[in-house]
Amino acid sequence: MYLSIKETAEYLSCSETYVKTMIQQKKIRALFDGQDYLINKDQFTTHMKQMEKYKELVEEVRNEPIPDDIDIKDED
DSSP string, the chain: -EE-HHHHHHHHTS-HHHHHHHHHTTSS--EE-SSSEEEEGGGGHHHHHHHHHHHHHHHHHHHSPPPPPTT-----
Report the pLDDT value the prediction gives residue 48, as an integer from 0 to 100: 79
pLDDT tens digits, residue range 17-67? 999 999 999 989 999 989 999 999 888 887 778 888 999 999 999 998 877
Q: Where are the domains of the chain?
A: 2-63
Instruction: Give the CATH number of domain 2-63.
Output: 1.10.10
